[in-house]
Chain A
Amino acid sequence: MSSESTFGDYGGQYVPEALMPAIEELADAYERYVIDNEGDFVEEFRERMADFGGRPTPLQYAEQLSERYDADVYLKREDLVHGGAHKLNNALGQVLLAKYMGKERIVAETGAGQHGTATAMAAAHLDMPCEIYMGETDIARQRPNVFRMRLNGAEVNPVSTGRGTLKEAITETFRDWATTVETTHYVVGSVVGPHPFPAMVRDFQAVISEEAREQVREKTGDLPDAVLACAGGGSNTMGTFHHFRDDDDVDLYAVEAGGDSLAVDEEAGVAPNSASLSTGEEGVLHGARTKLLQDSDGQIMESHSVSAGLDYAGVGPELAHMVDEGRVEAVNVGDDAALEAFHRLSQEEGIIPALESAHALAYLHEHHDELGDTVVVNVSGRGDKDLETVIEETGQRDLEAAPDLSVFREVGGGL
């Protein structure tokens, strides 16, 4: 673990002055507890991740996919973490750290709702009051997760500005934090934001690659040829790649949301994708210098993905740097391909993946010939939260892998 504040030209601390002392306090706490393990923080984190979180997660050999692609495909099952996504690794780490710091209240933002759910669960587990900011658009398309947050006792504050998605929710949470900074910790949901968040969130998520690397060696005696993870903000991506970073023979693929198209409507300020690594430009947003979807003036664009969890105009600074370095290849797949992969994995392996993870599986489908003999794909979360979206989006498309749902018509159940 290391506590670097910049990654090449990216990263840094671009925040309003009112937040700087909190950022410094957090950076200090990160050094003491997470890196230097003061107060046996790391032991407590790992114990809670095992008993409450259900770690380690399996690395499953995917028989049908392996046969289909004529390669050994392994799935890292982060969908089996408590709450149904990798997000708990970070949320539990940060809420525990807030507890060690003596903070009294937790705030967080959420897009797909998985981070909000994980934070609400972690806060309930550790008995901390918790408020979640969520865009109105996302509340509408992620109702099950909103309900789960409320079940766990968290307040959910709707954000109506802009398009009502993650970017606006982040801005709103920063505002809350600027007002309550002395007693409140902001659980940032990805490897984004000002230092120390990108490094700290990566460290909490690095358990994914720590386990996966060991597990793949146990199963095959060797390292994989390729590791795939979907990339929105980039937390499961960095977590999945971190311990493979120095393994030069392992190719790392960050699969972004190509949305409807990689083209950009600059006039309307809209990018019909969330592919900031593939198409973004360097800039400063939400506390860090990184790659962003922005117009030529520097105004941030509205992004799009069928997957709310990938729908963000920026990306983690370390991931942007690893792409620039050539260590990570940034690729993307569109909404349609992701939906096909969602259905395919559900039918062929009995796993309903998050729409985020379906992007990585879609890339495997399209490019399996180029990925080598052994491939690890991170299934970052489970897809239960996405079912309403998938029903609606599938109904608007002619998808090869979609199931025949005429049974509903036969019994008069709609569709």
Chain B
Amino acid sequence: MGLERAFADGPAFVPYLAAGDPDYESSLRYVEALARGGADVIELGLPFSEPMAEGPTIQEAVVRSLEAGMTPDRFLQFVRDLDVDVPLVCMTYYNLIYQYGEGEAQRASDASGETASRGPRAFVEAAADAGIEGFVVPDLPAEEAGPMREACDEYGLDLIFIVAPTTRGERLDAMQQHTSGYVYVQARLGVTGARDDVSDQTEESLARLSDWSVPKAVGFGIKTGDHAERIVSAGADGIIVGSALVDIVAGGHENDDPAADVADRLEAKARELKEGAVRGAQDRPQPEGK
């Protein structure tokens, strides 16, 4: 399981886009632009019709992608079609993973005449085959993640959990055991969405994870290079940025801008965020020991 390597050479910039937003071909270009702009890991959203943890920005991206015909199978093809040399993480909701397994199991069962078994294994296998290296599944807490963890272990994929500002005690311990690759530190309560300020909960959240061995990537609300700098200088090993990038895709779509122009804007924004993160690392006091 190798996503930790993306954090080895300084703070990692982890952008998110919904795959297929606003259409398949443009979206390929947009994701590739993020890689050119300095992305160290890319979180690719596989759209689900009920995105419970997302704010309006990403929800609208999900709707655009679904309306353009995105499906789990097309998502896997999208991953194959991408020309990037950056590790890819699939971010989606559990029902799509679970149902894909059921569908595959059912087809196998129909062929073999044996009873179908349900579960995430089939999608994890297919995702690994397409080149996905990890998963973020917002509605799959550690308590329900056993089968997913097993499947990820079997295929050598990372399973990344989100730690919320409200996560404490035994739950934090359970998540520490289950998380691999990196941990997604939710900077504030609520749903995703770009904000004009950085949450002051970040330092406290990072302090609670100080003994975790996996890199700590902070997300929710990061919009600018300055935000990135402040988050990294507060101790984050990486930053996760979704809505601020999706806003650029949405703006380009609304104005009917050429995909190449939108891709340029995404690349520039990615560079701003990555450079902010690097500055944040330089601001940091030199670590003692570790």
In the complex, the answer to whether B99 meets A18 with C-beta atoms within 8 Å is no
Is the C-beta of A181 less than 8 angstroms from some C-beta in chain B? yes
Is the C-beta of B161 less than 8 angstroms from some C-beta in chain A? yes
| Contact digits for B90-104, partner A, Cβ 8 Å, 1 yes 0 no | 000111111110110
Is the C-beta of B288 less than 8 angstroms from some C-beta in chain A? no
| Contact digits for B111-141, partner A, Cβ 8 Å, 1 yes 0 no | 0000000100000000000000000001111
| Cβ distance A266 to chain B, nearest Cβ, rounded Å | 12
In the complex, the answer to whether A286 meets B186 with C-beta atoms within 8 Å is no
In the complex, the answer to whether B52 meets A175 with C-beta atoms within 8 Å is yes
| Contact digits for A252-296, partner B, Cβ 8 Å, 1 yes 0 no | 000000000000000001000000000001111111000010101
Which residues of the other chain, B, contact A12 by a CB distance below 8 angstroms?
Answer: 143-144
Is the C-beta of B167 less than 8 angstroms from some C-beta in chain A? yes
In the complex, the answer to whether A281 meets B102 with C-beta atoms within 8 Å is yes
In the complex, the answer to whether A17 meets B186 with C-beta atoms within 8 Å is yes
Closest to A167 in B: B50
In the complex, the answer to whether A171 meets B50 with C-beta atoms within 8 Å is yes
Tell me, in angstroms, the Cα distance from A269 to B52 when the chains sit together.
Answer: 19
Assuming the A-B contacts A178-B189, A299-B49, are A20 and B167 also in contact, with contact meaning beta carbons closer than 8 angstroms in the complex? yes
| Cβ distance B42 to chain A, nearest Cβ, rounded Å | 21
In the complex, the answer to whether B139 meets A16 with C-beta atoms within 8 Å is yes
In the complex, the answer to whether A298 meets B95 with C-beta atoms within 8 Å is yes
How many positions in chain B have a CB within 8 Å of any CB in the partner chain? 43
| Contact digits for B234-278, partner A, Cβ 8 Å, 1 yes 0 no | 000000000000000000000000000000000000000000000
Tell me, in angstroms, the Cα distance from A178 to B164 when the chains sit together.
Answer: 10
Tell me, in angstroms, the Cα distance from A377 to B204 when the chains sit together.
Answer: 56
Task: Say which residue of B71, B72, B103, B167 sits within 8 Å of A17 (CB atoms).
Answer: B167
In the complex, the answer to whether B98 meets A298 with C-beta atoms within 8 Å is yes
Interface-central residue, B49, B94, B100, by most chain A CB under 10 Å: B49
Tell me, in angstroms, the Cα distance from A285 to B51 when the chains sit together.
Answer: 10
Interface-central residue, B51, B94, B95, B118, by most chain A CB under 10 Å: B95
In the complex, the answer to whether B139 meets A175 with C-beta atoms within 8 Å is no
In the complex, the answer to whether A297 meets B99 with C-beta atoms within 8 Å is yes
In the complex, the answer to whether B99 meets A14 with C-beta atoms within 8 Å is no
Is the C-beta of B59 less than 8 angstroms from some C-beta in chain A? yes
Tell me, in angstroms, the Cα distance from A12 to B63 when the chains sit together.
Answer: 27
| Cβ distance B242 to chain A, nearest Cβ, rounded Å | 14
In the complex, the answer to whether A16 meets B52 with C-beta atoms within 8 Å is yes
Tell me, in angstroms, the Cα distance from A181 to B162 when the chains sit together.
Answer: 17
In the complex, the answer to whether A17 meets B141 with C-beta atoms within 8 Å is yes
| Cβ distance B218 to chain A, nearest Cβ, rounded Å | 14
Is the C-beta of A174 less than 8 angstroms from some C-beta in chain B? yes
Task: Say which residue of A15, A22, A299 sits within 8 Å of B66 (CB atoms).
Answer: A299
In the complex, the answer to whether B72 meets A298 with C-beta atoms within 8 Å is yes
Closest to A162 in B: B49
Tell me, in angstroms, the Cα distance from A13 to B94 when the chains sit together.
Answer: 12
Is the C-beta of A182 less than 8 angstroms from some C-beta in chain B? yes
Task: Say which residue of A281, A284, A292 sits within 8 Å of B94 (CB atoms).
Answer: A284
Is the C-beta of B281 less than 8 angstroms from some C-beta in chain A? no
How many positions in chain A have a CB within 8 Å of any CB in the partner chain? 37
In the complex, the answer to whether A179 meets B189 with C-beta atoms within 8 Å is yes
Task: Say which residue of B63, B73, B138, B144 sits within 8 Å of A16 (CB atoms).
Answer: B138
Which residues of the other chain, A, contact B52 by a CB distance below 8 angstroms?
Answer: 15-16, 171, 174-175, 286
Tell me, in angstroms, the Cα distance from A281 to B100 when the chains sit together.
Answer: 12
| Contact digits for A174-208, partner B, Cβ 8 Å, 1 yes 0 no | 11001111100000000000000000000000000
Is the C-beta of B55 less than 8 angstroms from some C-beta in chain A? yes
| Contact digits for A53-78, partner B, Cβ 8 Å, 1 yes 0 no | 00000000000000000000000000
In the complex, the answer to whether A14 meets B190 with C-beta atoms within 8 Å is no
Tell me, in angstroms, the Cα distance from A281 to B168 when the chains sit together.
Answer: 35
Which residues of the other chain, A, contact B55 by a CB distance below 8 angstroms?
Answer: 175
Is the C-beta of A21 less than 8 angstroms from some C-beta in chain B? yes
| Cβ distance B195 to chain A, nearest Cβ, rounded Å | 12
Task: Say which residue of B59, B71, B95 sits within 8 Å of A283 (CB atoms).
Answer: B95
| Cβ distance A131 to chain B, nearest Cβ, rounded Å | 15
Which residues of the other chain, B, contact A287 by a CB distance below 8 angstroms?
Answer: 139
Tell me, in angstroms, the Cα distance from A20 to B168 when the chains sit together.
Answer: 10
Which residues of the other chain, B, contact A294 by a CB distance below 8 angstroms?
Answer: 95, 99
Tell me, in angstroms, the Cα distance from A14 to B118 when the chains sit together.
Answer: 16
Is the C-beta of A300 less than 8 angstroms from some C-beta in chain B? yes
Is the C-beta of B163 less than 8 angstroms from some C-beta in chain A? yes
Is the C-beta of B82 less than 8 angstroms from some C-beta in chain A? no
| Cβ distance A196 to chain B, nearest Cβ, rounded Å | 14
| Cβ distance A54 to chain B, nearest Cβ, rounded Å | 36
In the complex, the answer to whether B59 meets A178 with C-beta atoms within 8 Å is no
Which residues of the other chain, A, contact B138 by a CB distance below 8 angstroms?
Answer: 16-17
Is the C-beta of A161 less than 8 angstroms from some C-beta in chain B? yes
Which residues of the other chain, B, contact A167 by a CB distance below 8 angstroms?
Answer: 50
Closest to B47 in A: A299
Which residues of the other chain, A, contact B162 by a CB distance below 8 angstroms?
Answer: 16-17
Question: What residues of chain A have their CB less than 8 Å away from a CB belonging to chain B?
Answer: 12-18, 20-22, 24, 161-162, 167, 171, 174-175, 178-182, 269, 281-287, 292, 294, 296-300
Question: What residues of chain B have their CB less than 8 Å away from a CB belonging to chain A?
Answer: 48-53, 55, 59, 63, 66, 71-73, 93-100, 102-103, 118, 138-141, 143-144, 161-168, 171, 186, 189-191
CB<8 Å pairs between A and B, sample of 10: A14-B141, A15-B52, A15-B139, A16-B52, A16-B164, A24-B171, A282-B118, A285-B50, A298-B48, A298-B72
